[in-house]
Structure 1
């Protein structure tokens, strides 16, 4: 298979990254929806819930949770290097451009967290992006070593604290809501003001949770930076032998870790084992994430690649759209179905919604180069109106893109 023209490091848009972003949107949607749909939706519902709901939640924990935010984080680190190269080619200073992008991303995240979803990740990404800029001179080897230390250190911390939790904490009694969960049910079924107050009340704890998992996210940033330094995706993104080796080597490790984490967080172990499960997920999640990424690039057909890449190019718009729709469905902004829909039905709805997003992404990218939110962020980054934001009509056949679709990532 011939390599796309301009798909080398620093010479054009890396389409495989867009494909992976489009795929990662599904995992983000599943996890965020279960967190938005009810206090115990991610656990399969309250005690006594139907078996199908428990199975659906168990599967999401094992196969999805703590996997796809790693993929997005890796892609963020990879794109950081491409943006740096783009600024160099354009003959402009990277630091002011990067700072404007970070501030724009943080602002979007703050609005998102207050209005739609307090579990927003954009503010955390923006903050970590400043640290990434400070470490941009690291060699690939050093970046990977630091990333490994961060992952292992966080896993050990969670495992130790988790064992203390198992030893000294009583699990939640069957059939009872914890008081904070009961308050959340009432708040999210209330009016607009009630929902906003609930978001503000939850925001500090959500930011605290992001702070705990910052080492894991930043490790993925560094892994992406290291991969971009050596052009990993450009060299191996379509190397079927290499992709197959990664899947064969790491998929069993990732699946085993997913099973253990689901057993701890969902069933058969009780709620006191959740942090132990998180520790296992942190340690083995990168293996499953890498397997997913390589397996997708190995198996995806050209038509599917075009669809996924279109949505990947407007991933930020899709991410915020997901939160808007979820807020309208589950909170007092709209239908107020919070804690009223079973996990299995929620998962099925996610699959339908994701399919609609993919279809919309294709149609929109036929007309424009950037999604609406990407266009705003790009304008902030460049401190002015972007140039040509209309679509060029380019297509990707799977072997090489049209020449005018090869452009720098900025």
Structure 2
């Protein structure tokens, strides 16, 4: 019975990862499909009510939410990997340092060749902080996570009061820059790489001001949750999950609506989104867990779990797909696909990935990238051979 429950736990975590992958793709694909999002500008070619509605819905319910879930699960799995190292009698620190080093190299290559902005290298760097804090008490970890959000509240609040966003985001200048970005992405492979490199300062500013600190906070909360095994043997009827839904949706949807209605570049709206996004993320998690443990939801867990087990391979695979679809390396459709069509492509790519994940894991134990990173982590030769299900997520 314990083994069955452990496998259910693994499927819960992997299904949540699979769900997070879809949300991350919905956000990331917009930066591949158009030169306008990174410059926080509206594409005049797509200015209909339908285009605006798609942008609004994504801003309210997707933007800034799913990377938090992915980060939380990274922290949770960090704790599981500590336990796996203990069971194997291996020293955890050198093992994790090798893993983070491999992740950093992978992230740099990913960010230069495949995507505008990369989270893997950021995870590797912030993972060093998590590694250094691995022995702190739960209370300390949660205080640090809370302090991160207090810091963001103060700094973004000061910016909202004293910084004129409209003066910084000059629409004509932003449109011209966006058009140049689109032209670069539609060019040769070297043009695409050059555009990725030019975007690094903009992306780096976002990491320093918002995404990096919130990722660290999510790591720490995930680590504490992993210690307490909060995702193990979840009961869908748990009253706490219902409470998280009620509170999370009430606060998170309110913040999402304010963010979407105020414009993505408005500092006040960003502040509202940063403060409320964790609530909506938590509500999504509670809802999916409750549904997966209902009579009708077990199939959803089984459907999503393989994609989550291959999360790293699928994340990189999403970037490969968007490069081939939108840039001059492939079909060169950048700037030629409407927001609704872009959303449809994201869903289509994810569906294909779910199917391929089932097929791959029917024949191999690990995803292609996961197997290679595991070899680096354990300092062994890579192996993808089929075997029994891992007991660590």
TM-score scaled by structure 1?
A: 0.88
Mind listing any 5+ residue stretches in structure 2 that lack a counterpart?
A: none
2:212 aligned residue: 214
> CA 1:18–1:37 in 2, change beyond 3 Å: closer, same or farther?
same
Aligned CA distance change for structure 1 residues 84 and 156 (closer, same or farther; 3 Å): same
Match of 2:64 among 61, 66, 86: 66
Inter-partner Cα distance in structure 2 for 1:46 and 1:229: 50
- Given that 2:103 and 2:373 are in contact with CA atoms closer than 8 Å, whether structure 1 keeps it comes out as yes
**Cα offsets for 1:132-168 (capped at 9, x unmatched):** 0111112222211211110121133123213333377
Which residue of 2 is the match for residue 288 of structure 1?
280
Candidates 153, 156, 160, aligned match of 1:155: 153
Q: What's 1:192 paired with?
A: 189
1:309-358 CA-to-partner distances (Å, cap 9, x unmatched) read: 11000000000010011111111111222222111111111112211111
Distance in 1 of aligned mates of 2:319 and 2:346 = 12
**1:3-402 matches, cutoff 5 A:** 5=4, 7=6, 14-40=10-36, 45-46=43-44, 49-166=47-164, 169=167, 172-173=170-171, 177-212=174-209, 213-234=211-232, 236=234, 238-265=236-263, 271=265, 273=266, 275-300=267-292, 301-386=297-382, 389-392=384-387
Q: Distance in 1 between matches of 2:342 and 2:11?
A: 31
CA distance in 2, matches of 1:208, 1:102: 22
What CA distance in whole angstroms lies between the structure 2 residues aligned with 1:110 and 1:200? 11
Return the offset for 1:3: 7.0
Write the distance in 1 (CA, Å) between the matches of 2:2 and 2:161.
Answer: 50
- State the TM-score, normalizing by the size of structure 2: 0.92
3-state secondary structure, aligned to 1:233: coil
CA contact (8 A) 1:307 1:361 kept: no
How far did residue 238 of structure 1 move? 4.2
Tell me, yes or no, if the aligned pair for 1:13 and 1:408 is still in contact at 8 Å: no
Q: How many pairs are equivalent? A: 386
Q: Which secondary structure does the structure 2 equivalent of 1:232 belong to?
A: coil
Secondary structure in 2 matching 1:169: helix
In 1, the alpha carbon distance for the partners of 2:165 and 2:69 equals: 34
Aligned residue number for residue 408 of structure 1? 391
Q: How far, CA to CA, are the matches of 1:239 and 1:96 in structure 2?
A: 41
Distance 2:213 2:199 in 1: 22
1:235 CA drift (Å): 5.1
RMSD: 2.2
What's the counterpart of residue 396 of structure 1? none
Q: Indicate the SS of the match to 2:288.
A: helix
